[in-house]
Structure 1
Amino acid sequence: MTNTNMTMVEELAEWTAQLQWTDLSKEAVDSLKGRLLDSIGVAIGALDGKPIKAIRQMTDDLGGNPLVTLIGGGKTTPDYATFYNGAAIRYLDYNDSYLAKEETCHPSDNIAPVLAAAEYNKISGKEFLLSLGIAYQVQARLSELAPVRKHGFDHTVQGAYGAAAGASRALGLAATGIANAIAIAGTTQNALRVTRTGTLSNWKGLAYPNTAMGAVHATLLASYGITGAREVFEGNKGFMDSIAGPFEIDWSKENLERVTDTIIKKYNAEIHSQSSIEGILEIRNNQQIAAQDIKQIRLATFDVAYNIIGGGEEGEKKTIKTKEEADHSLPYMLAVAFLDGQVMPEQYETNRINSDDVQQLLQKVDVQVSDEYSNRFPQEMACRIEIETNDGTIFSVEKQDYEGFTTNPASWDVLLKKYYYLTKNIDKQLADKIATTIQHIDEIEIIELTSLLGQVRVLNGGV
């Protein structure tokens, strides 16, 4: 039973402090390793991106006590390292997702803050995985119970609680310190959804790294005895009162299994597009259709996909000039998938985005919402794609999921294939060592992994 003498953040802190390695199931451990491999590959693949280079330059210019490793070499403070490494994990928009009915988040965004705290505290790989599992669980459950998108706030809001819980556990704080860390982070990290509406900017990929940096900063403050608002959830003008509305959760009864419900991106595209991209590629690969013969591409999809990337409530999606706009536009992603036979980082290069063929084809994409498919989300990612040619012939496919979804999960071998594609521009032996180290992370100390990440160098340009 919930202790009525404790606030909700204190209950969360007690749960966080008391968890043990044995509370992680084998399935959860395997899932955490898979998400770690996937995210490190994505981060390495992003190192040559312009915003990542800019953040690296800023980090080098500002300096900082060299305590925590930067992916690609060098060290800085735990909070700065969290922002840089988190930006690398997030920039390509190719890391994992968790689907709740009214909120979607990317729990692997928590890897950077938990890894920074873990290296700073020199803990074991087992303790790192446990701390990461805590972050996953907290963010996922709050996304389910307390969605904020409909109130104009970003999905990173719930992440502040998860990142602080995971980082404070990795830093070895007692329950009192954990409560303060979560309270400070939750009070301060409340981002606006405008980040992902209208004309998109670099901040789309940097909002969570900023939240995570704030959570690590909050955790460090708590480690020095700074206190936070203990009624951050239920208090006057707190999270419930100001943003989410009332909800209940008994943290003492929570497990660490939500990571097993996360999904992997098969294509380098916004998560709700994955089944539709797989579908249009099936038509492309099974039929001989010339792009100039296409009259219209029609997609019927679920409401969340339509509203975020299909031209619904978060803005029209046919004026596409930048990477950030392209990877959040179903018309662009379907058009470029048909033309190129894939959607990978190359499909977001400026020259590709502005090419006449893809700009013309994306104007022929029509996206509509289906009540039936909406009712089946998030248990399914259902959609129907039709391509009508100029002579009136219609080719169609219906999808319920894709390879990487909960009903069709990606195996370690599938994740390795993606990882090696993204790390093809670093030393192959080093890439092998990193993958093997992650597979056995529960048998070693965390600094064995961070040492390898510090040796990464991009050869011959980025992905």
Structure 2
Amino acid sequence: MPQNAVEATEALASAVVKGRFEDLPADAVAAVKASILDGIGVAMAGSVEPLGKTITAYVRDLGGHPQATVLGSGFRTSPPDAALANGAMIHALDYDDSLQIFSFHFTSFLLPTVLALGEQRGISGQQAITAFAYGLEAAVAVFRAATSRLDYDRGWHRTATVGTLAAAAAGAKVLELDVQQTRIALGIAASQAAGIRQNFGTMTKPLHSGLTARNGVTAAMLAQRGWTADPGVLEGPLGFCKVFFGDGNYDLADLHASLSRPFHYVSSIRIKKFSACGQAARPIEAMLALAKEHDIRPEQVERIECGINPSVMNILVHSNPRTGLEGKFSAEFCLAIALLGRKVVLDDFTDARVNEPAVQSLMRKVRKYADPEVPHHGGKGPTVTVITADGRKLCRRIDMEEDQPWPAPTERERIGKYRDCAKRVLNERNIQDALELTQNLEKLQDVRQLVAAISA
């Protein structure tokens, strides 16, 4: 254990407390605003899904004190319950952004946390950006301490484990807690961290995001009220890192190193183009390119092969999906719809689409296999090979720089995605108002103005 390991929780809490909007680099501010806009859009789309309707009805029945808005429906409830519903809806379609180098979806819990407590307190746009940014910074610092992916490979969902610490940090920032209170909030959050990958492809995966946001809000609110917890929860012998990462699989010196160069990872943040697991993005891009370049028709296909990172075999787990949710974690389905439609859109991921005879027939021709030369993220891309009935062998892969998960969408594509998602709930005026307010969020005096625009 490094000499300064015992100071890890205090160092993390201090970085969160001392962080100012003025300290944020321009690219970090831009990235946060882009993520917030994307989160608003996918929340609107998620709110009309069966998951969104169910979690909204559940929270409404709880009857919490009306202080924070449930997106998509506009009613208000307690901050923890609003965060629960909004987090689940943002992640409902698996269309929200991610930091793929660490395999987690940060907006799905940071935005609900910041909005729930921010609406209650009437914080400014700058405060909202700052809380979001330093919540993310906290998560990255903890991730950097891990020296392996053992936690993920064992089945932990990092959005719900490390994410709970990050949500607590963001909540602490909104509530303007001091260093000791923030350490306590992290301690409370650590005892609520949970979520297993066995539930990928079900409604419970998005529930992880809602629970993460709710638990972060709860941790910050309890810490503000004098609740107690271990103030050294990261470095303790029975603490977070020992429990989740395991002996010999973390080095807290790397946490300190990460905090010494804040926001170094911003270029790796990705907004999704497709409503599927991020690990399917480059295979989809490769198939779309092949279909366009060679004008491949489904009836010409003898078989399709896709070589992916060995650990991703346990992420894209549904080889024979029967629901739209399972389809999001199916290389077979994603490649089939990419070839059939020459595009992949939000409405492809439905139970009806998965069970179409043409889709089922083409899926049976797809074989994924483990390719140890393909890294988990960045670098060499998965190779998609189409073998045609006349003997042609057509190959394509999408390579990226290290730590770059898939091609970034253009600004036009990002805004188009936001509009397409938001129109499922909001009228055009509210869509435009929310767009302009988010693009100028640092000038907003009260975040409630943005909440009002997306609640109409």
> Normalization by structure 1: what TM-score?
0.90
* Residues 52 and 89, structure 2, Cα contact 8 Å, conserved in 1: yes
Shift of the alpha carbon at 1:273?
1.0
> 1:432: which partner in 2?
432
Query: Which of residues 165, 177, 180 in structure 1 aligns to 2:184?
Result: 180
Cα contact 1:112–1:212 (8 A) shared by 2? yes
Match of 1:307, as an amino acid?
Answer: N
Task: Describe the superposition over 1:177-222 as per-residue Cα deviations: whole angstroms up to 9, x where unpaired.
Answer: 11111110012213233223xxx42101211211221111111111
Distance in 1 (alpha carbons) for counterparts of 2:452 and 2:77: 14
**Structure 1 contact 28–257 (Cα < 8 Å) conserved:** no
Aligned to 2:174: 170
The one-letter code matched in structure 1 to 2:27 is E
- When structure 1 is superposed on structure 2, of 358-367 and 147-156 the one drifting more is 147-156
Q: CA deviation at 1:417?
A: 1.4
Which residue number in structure 2 is paired with residue 61 of structure 1? 61
Residue in structure 2 matched with residue 341 of structure 1 by the alignment: 342
Measure the CA separation in 1 of the matches of 2:237 and 2:304. 50
- 1:460 matched to which residue of 2? none
Match of 1:294 in 2: 301
- Kindly state the Cα deviation for residue 405 of structure 1 after the two structures are TM-superposed: 5.2
The verdict on how the C-alpha distance between 1:297 and 1:406 changes in structure 2, with shifts beyond 3 A counting, is closer
- Aligned residue type for 1:151: R
Which deviates the most, 230-239 or 377-386? Answer: 377-386
In 2, the alpha carbon distance for the partners of 1:26 and 1:332 equals: 39
The 1:407–1:305 alpha-carbon spacing in structure 2 relative to 1, beyond 3 Å, is: closer
Cα deviation 1:332-377 (Å, max 9, x = unaligned): 1111121122222211222111111111211111112223222xx5
CA 1:300 to 1:151, structure 2 compared with 1: closer, same or farther past 3 Å? closer
Aligned twin of 1:84: 85
Question: Map of 1:18-29 to 2, 5 A cutoff?
Answer: 18-29=18-29
CA RMSD of aligned residues (A): 2.2
Secondary structure (helix, strand or coil) at the match of 2:304 reads: strand
Q: Please identify, of 351-360 and 142-151, the stretch whose mean Cα deviation from structure 2 is larger.
A: 142-151
Number of the residue aligned with 1:47: 47
TM-score normalised per structure 2: 0.91
Q: Deviations over 1:289-309 (max 9, x none)?
A: 321221101112333433311
1:252 to 1:297, Cα distance in 2 relative to 1, 3 A: closer
1:306 corresponds to:
313
Matched, 1:149 2:167: no
Distance 1:120 1:259 in 2: 29
The answer for the alignment partner of 1:461 in structure 2 is none
Q: Deviations over 1:43-77 (max 9, x none)?
A: 11122100110111111111111101121211111
- Matches of 2:227 and 2:192, distance apart in 1: 14
SS of the aligned residue for 1:188 comes to coil
> In the alignment, is the contact (CA less than 8 A) between 1:70 and 1:453 conserved in 2?
no
Task: Map 1:48-447 to 2 at 5 A.
Answer: 48-72=48-72, 73-100=74-101, 103-109=102-108, 110-146=110-146, 147=149, 148-155=151-158, 156-196=160-200, 200-245=201-246, 246-248=250-252, 249-250=255-256, 253-309=260-316, 315=317, 317-374=318-375, 377-380=376-379, 382-401=381-400, 408-425=407-424, 426-444=426-444, 445-447=446-448
Whichever residue aligns with residue 87 of structure 2, its letter is: G
Relative to structure 1, the CA distance from residue 407 to residue 398 in structure 2 (aligned partners, 3 Å threshold; closer, same or farther) is closer
Q: Any idea what the Cα deviations from partners look like across 1:389-416, whole Å, max 9, x if unmatched? A: 12212222221149x9568433332211
Q: Residues 323 and 141 (structure 1 numbering): CA distance in 2 closer, same or farther, change over 3 Å? A: farther
Q: Which residue of 1 aligns with 2:11?
A: 11
Q: State the secondary structure of the residue aligned to 1:368.
A: strand
Deviations 1:429-460 (A, max 9, x none): 110110010000000121111111211xxxxx
In structure 1, distance between residues paired with 2:423 and 2:220:
36
Deviation at 1:5, TM superposition (A): 10
Q: Tell me which amino acid in the other structure corresponds to 2:354.
A: I
- State the 1:3 CA deviation: 9.7
SS in 2 for 1:297: strand
CA–CA separation in structure 2 for the residues paired with 1:69 and 1:405: 35
SS at structure 1 position matched to 2:39:
helix
Unaligned runs of 5+ in 2: none
Q: Give the distance between the partners of 2:239 and 2:208, measured in 1 at CA.
A: 21
Cα 1:232–1:343, aligned 2, differ >3 Å: closer, same or farther? same
CA distance in 2, matches of 1:50, 1:266: 22
Which of 185-194 and 18-27 deviates more? 185-194
Q: Is the 8 A contact 1:28 1:259 kept in 2?
A: yes
Go from structure 1 to structure 2 and tell me whether the alpha carbon gap of 1:152 and 1:290 turns closer, same or farther (over 3 Å shift): closer
Following the alignment from structure 1 to structure 2, what is the Cα–Cα distance between the partners of residues 228 and 183? 5
Show structure 1 runs of 5+ residues with no match: 310-314, 456-463
SS, match of residue 334 in structure 2 = helix
